[in-house]
Amino acid sequence: MRILVLAAMLAIGIAVGATVPAVSGFVRNTLSAAGVPPTLFAFTAGPGAAAPTTEPDHAEGNGQENAKARPVAKDADGHAHGEHAHSEAEGEEGHVRMTAEQVETQGIQVAKADGGTLSRHLLVPGTITPDTDRIARVPARVVGTVSEMRKRLGDTVQKDEVVAVLDSREVADAKSEYLTAQVQAELQKINFERQQKLVASQAASESAFQNARAVYLENQLRVDLARQKLSALGLNAVEVAAAQKRDEATPNRSSLRRYELRSPFTGRIVERKVDVGTTVGSQGDPADLYTVADLGTVWIELSVPTSELAKVTEGAAVTVTPSQEGGERHERGKVIFVSPLLNVDTRAARVVVSLPNKDMAWRPGTYVTAEIEIANDQVPVRVEKTSLQTIEGKRVVFVRTEEGFEKREVELGRSDDEAYEVTAGLKAGEDIAVANTFLLKAELGKAEADHDH
């Protein structure tokens, strides 16, 4: 009879434990007190469910020990689920899971880590000046009076373009002397050739021939001297002769006293010193009429401290920016001169930079800031500074993976204004995040915080 009662109680306990797991402990204790082995009531909460396990909680208080059992659920593969379990989305430590769409949406740019050049610079102030090789004056090379001023201040001129005209007696005398000598030389040439024919036919004496020859050679010398005088005044003998023929056709217009001044090269009129009617060329008179400058190239005058002078070499690249706040314009030039002498007062050396100025925006007299390239280092792995983040005091980059990004600690070497050399931790050719990497750092910190909880 007792056996039948125990069997009934066992059946009832199994049924209740299957439906109400919370009371299964009471049932087990009752059956155990009745002498039923524990192996007979190791039942589950239901078909296919995980077997409950117990973990004792030990709480100290008033000398008593709390031995409550805490259930921890496990799936069929034995993986725990509960308050401290981690979701698969959090990934492994140091990894950030992110789809390609998320990468694009958050503006995270990816590029290959590769070798490159680290350029170091020296920052110094400077002043724009005209290129002294491209600035010239239009001199009054003869004594005369200004009759025409064809250009105004700021006008553009071409090489050999006439910019002013003088009325000069000195020029008239030089032209007349040349033209007279030219006419005399032609006449004496005719006489010499005639005497030469007469001597050949014995119709003239040898002395008459020699006399004609001497006069002819003398006049040729006078022509050469007159031509050289014209050349010294900047006049062309051929043009003077052509002008004389034009004057013969128009007797009321004489060009003998006319002296044209021409621009030495293409540029702009940056200075005008005289007006029409001004006497020039004599002692005490203005020596020149215009100053012409070609500002297509300007110079930057720099003062480099002695301590930095050894780093600056001729031919070094220079980036120039305006000194005023907000100046965004920049231009690249190069060092063309490093003075071997130091300024006695400043103990600095003069350094000259040649700078292109095609749009005439760099004006002489303007203060600028110059970055002189003082070193070019080739490195096997170069990363932009925007690629780097600091996590727990260590510099890291984020390497692209199939699931997202992996945090990678790196060791850094030399650097410039924009990038670092990577000496360890990263190989050339690996894809890394190069922009908005702070978002990856934030995501990594969030995942690790969840992992700690």
Buried b (16+ CB within 10 A) or exposed e, 23-49: ebeebbeebeeeebeeeebebebeeee
Distance CA 166, CA 149 (A): 9
Distance CA 87, CA 68 (A): 28
Distance CA 182, CA 136 (A): 35
The yes-or-no verdict on residue 322 having pLDDT over 80 is yes
Task: Write the CA distances from 403 to 68, 91, 99, 103, 112, integer angstroms.
Answer: 42, 9, 7, 11, 18
Pick from 184-188, 203-207, 306-310: least confident: 203-207
Q: Give the pLDDT band (50/70/90) at residue 330.
A: confident
How much is the pLDDT for 308?
Answer: 86
Task: Write out the DSSP string of 129-194.
Answer: EE-GGGEEEEE--SSEEEEEE---TT-EE-TT-EEEEEE-HHHHHHHHHHHHHHHHHHHHHHHHHH
The yes-or-no verdict on residue 164 having pLDDT over 80 is yes
Tokens 């204004």, residue? 417
The yes-or-no verdict on residue 378 having pLDDT over 90 is no
Distance CA 387, CA 98 (A): 17
**Average pLDDT score over the chain:** 78
Q: Which two structure tokens, joined as six digits, stand for 3?
A: 């056996």
Sequence-distant (6+) residues with CB within 8 A of 31 are: 9, 10, 13, 40, 41
Tokens 């965004």, residue? 328
pLDDT in tens, 190-247: 888 888 888 787 777 888 888 888 988 888 898 999 999 988 888 888 888 888 778 7
Q: Which two structure tokens, joined as six digits, stand for 376?
A: 């070019």
Task: Tell which wins on pLDDT, 337 or 326.
Answer: 337
Q: Which two structure tokens, joined as six digits, stand for 127?
A: 């002043």
The amino acid at residue 312 is V
Q: Give the pLDDT band (50/70/90) at residue 19.
A: very low
Tokens 């009531």, residue? 41
Q: What percent of the chain has pLDDT over 90?
A: 25
How much is the pLDDT for 427?
Answer: 86
Distance CA 371, CA 122 (A): 5
Distance CA 407, CA 440 (A): 9
User: Residue 107: how many CB atoms within 10 A of its CB?
Assistant: 9
Domain ranges, ordered by start, for the chain: 2-81, 99-117+377-452, 169-256
Give the angle 265-229-267 at the CA atoms, nearest 5°. 5
Please, how many CA atoms are within 13 Å of residue 313, restricted to the half-sphere of its CB?
7
Pick from 16-20, 68-72, 140-144: least confident: 68-72
Give the angle 66-70-76 at the CA atoms, nearest 5°. 160
Please, how many CA atoms are within 13 Å of residue 326, restricted to the half-sphere of its CB?
0
Does domain 99-117+377-452 sit in CATH 2.40.100.10? no
Task: Tell which wins on pLDDT, 166 or 204.
Answer: 166
How much is the pLDDT for 37?
Answer: 52
How much is the pLDDT for 35?
Answer: 53
The yes-or-no verdict on residue 6 having pLDDT over 50 is no
Q: Is 103 left (phi over 0), alpha (psi -120 to 50) or beta?
A: alpha
Read off the pLDDT of each residue in 148-153 and give the average, rounded to a whole number.
94
Q: Which of 65, 23, 68, 18 is nearest to 43 (CA)?
A: 18
Q: Is the dihedral of CA 330, 336, 338, 344 positive or negative?
A: negative
Axis crossing angle, helix 2-19 with helix 24-33, rounded to the nearest 10: 160
Read off the pLDDT of each residue in 328-351 and give the average, rounded to a whole number.
87
Sequence-distant (6+) residues with CB within 8 A of 395 are: 388, 389, 409, 410, 411, 412
Highest mean pLDDT among 2-6, 95-99, 330-334: 330-334
Q: Which two structure tokens, joined as six digits, stand for 278?
A: 């001004």
Q: Which of 118, 241, 126 is nearest to 181 (CA)?
A: 241
First to last CA, the chain: 56
Distance CA 365, CA 357 (A): 14
Alpha carbon 330 to its chain's center: 7
Q: Which of 331, 336, 312, 329 is nearest to 320 (CA)?
A: 331
How much is the pLDDT for 166?
Answer: 94
Partners of 272 in the β-ladder: 290
Q: Which of 155, 165, 152 is nearest to 277 (CA)?
A: 165
Q: What radius of gyration do the chain's Cα atoms show?
A: 50
Torsions phi, psi for 308 (to 5 deg): -105, -5
